[in-house]
Structure 1
Amino acid sequence: MSKIAGTLACMAPDVVDQARRLVCDRFPDALGAVLAGSTAAGRATASSDLDIAVLIGDGGETCRETIRFEGRVAELFVHTRAGLVGLFAADVAARRAVLQNMYATGLVLVDTNGEASRARALAEADLREGPPPLEPETVETKRYGLTDALDDLADAGDHIERLSVAGFVLNAAADLLCDYQRAWIGGGKWLPRRLLEADAERGAALLEAHLHLCRSGEPGPMIDAASGILDLVGGPLREGYRRTWHGAIGSVAATTGR
């Protein structure tokens, strides 16, 4: 049994058929189309979205659109060949590789003249290469922000404020750990998934510590877990930090966590 056939066998056929009908209805001349997300992974529920990447001809428009098709919400990632190259480059620069993962792991619905297969090969090449490392100055600024937030976490007496700071610490520490491991980052539900892929041991410790803080209000384990990640990238940074702005000036709050 082929890989695609095996994937189809473990999925609800109506979901796949629905995705194909959508592509045929909205993009009859599509060069390629890929169904990704929970539906492609065989975890679709009645409320799951259809996440579909659609490759169209060069005269079309690259866009993202959310629609409802036959009662189900669908997220459409539509792009020309040139648009796909640009989106791949943007995803690499952002260290997220969202579209690359869609093409690399999704179920091919349309593959005119091998167009979707070529897009998948490009996606897989990006994923093998991994994200670019953060610039040293950026790592320094992130170290400073996380150090400051950990100080706030240790001092916070208000439970609501502690939870808010803990959310910042989780994201900042995850970002630094993924960069240290040259791994892709993610947001929302993809943050823990990418974090565990990057470093199963340290990632799990950080996530468990965050859960413990949310349940008990005790910040100690999270401070320890995040401090361990800080040590990997140079340790805490307070005095001695200096940043000179050139051109557009970013928000001070983005660097301090206050």
Structure 2
Amino acid sequence: MNNRREPIETGHQIIDKYFPNCQGAILAGSVVRGEATETSDLDIVIFDDSLNSSYRESLFEFGWYIELFAHNLSSYRFFFEDDCKEARPCMPRMVSEGEILKDKGVLPEIIKEAKELLEQGPEEWSKQTIDIKRYFITDALDDLIGCKDRGEGIFIANKLGELVSEFILRSNRKWIGSSKWVVRSLVHHDKELAKEFVEAFDMYYKKDDIVKIVSLVDKTLLPFGGRLFEGFSLGKNIAYCNK
């Protein structure tokens, strides 16, 4: 990996080799944000009106692992919209934060679309959705509190971490993430809260101590009514026939 060429140079070489006639290309990901590690790859977003549809492809070229996200000049909108529905704006973020490698005049409008979507934030959760999420967080927390099997506990905690991070972010109309983007999204929202979140789960994984997790969950749910179990109902038909 030490003989890898510079990211920008590699990006141009990939374009010249695979998409010489494309209308636009953007280098995105950790190398652009200044967060690259030895295992980081290059994310390259292509806009080429000769493509029939979007596709994704993984390559190893010029000493780099490369992820290509290829679109024509309209197919990218599906991914913009779908990512935003899921509250994980991967494509809009790549396009808005990336570095332009090539542009024949199409990128300013596409970048503008991406930035506008990001600024809007995800759709606000309804009261019903918040209650459903409260219930499942409560259920997972109860499972963790009562768990006697360390192996089971690890995976209960994993699930609880996903649920709580999602609740924190979505109840504040913030974008969520998965894997490393769980922590990054929390940091972007509230650095101190992100630190508290990491410390709570770290204490459990290291010392089998759930005190901080319980405290974090209760603090998170309190503004919305706290834990929810008794009286929760989902899908119940309340219409009865009198016979």
Amino acid at match of 2:163: A
Contact 2:56 2:70 in 1 (8 A): yes
1:141 aligns with 2:132: yes
1:154 aligns with 2:168: no
Which has the higher mean CA deviation after the structures are superposed, 195-204 or 85-94? 195-204
1:34 aligns with 2:23: no
Instruction: Mark the runs of 5 or more structure 2 residues left unpaired by the alignment.
Output: 238-243
Structure with higher helix content: 1
- Distance in 2 between the 1:161 and 1:129 partners? 39
The CA deviation at 1:44 is: 3.3
The CA deviation at 1:186 is: 0.3
1:188 aligns with 2:179: yes
Once the two structures are aligned, what percentage of the paired residues are identical?
A: 28
- Distance in 2 between the 1:53 and 1:179 partners? 27
Aligned to 2:118: 127
Which digits, 9 at most, give the CA deviation of each residue in 1:232-258, with x for residues without a partner? 333111011111189xxxxxxxxxxxx
Aligned to 2:107: 116
Aligned to 1:199: 190
The CA deviation at 1:45 is: 4.2
Aligned to 1:173: 164
Aligned to 1:94: 86
1:51 aligns with 2:60: no
Contact 1:174 1:203 in 2 (8 A): no
The CA deviation at 1:73 is: 1.4
Contact 1:202 1:225 in 2 (8 A): no
The CA deviation at 1:46 is: 4.5
Aligned to 2:203, the other structure's residue is in SS state helix
- Distance in 1 between the 2:22 and 2:78 partners? 19
Aligned to 2:25, the other structure's residue is in SS state strand
Aligned to 1:226: 217
Which of 52, 71, 75 pairs up with 1:60? 52
- Distance in 2 between the 1:243 and 1:214 partners? 33
Instruction: Mark the runs of 5 or more structure 1 residues left unpaired by the alignment.
Output: 1-11, 247-258
Contact 1:100 1:124 in 2 (8 A): yes
Q: How many residues align?
A: 234
Amino acid at match of 2:109: R
Aligned to 1:81, the other structure's residue is in SS state coil
- Distance in 1 between the 2:185 and 2:132 partners? 22
The CA deviation at 1:56 is: 1.2
- Distance in 2 between the 1:210 and 1:29 partners? 49
Contact 1:34 1:106 in 2 (8 A): yes
Aligned to 1:30, the other structure's residue is in SS state coil
Which has the higher mean CA deviation after the structures are superposed, 153-162 or 199-208? 199-208
Over 3 Å counting, the alpha-carbon distance change for 1:118 and 1:245 in structure 2 is farther
Aligned to 2:69, the other structure's residue is in SS state strand
The CA deviation at 1:58 is: 5.8
> RMSD of aligned C-alpha atoms?
1.8
TM-score for the superposition, normalised by structure 2? 0.90
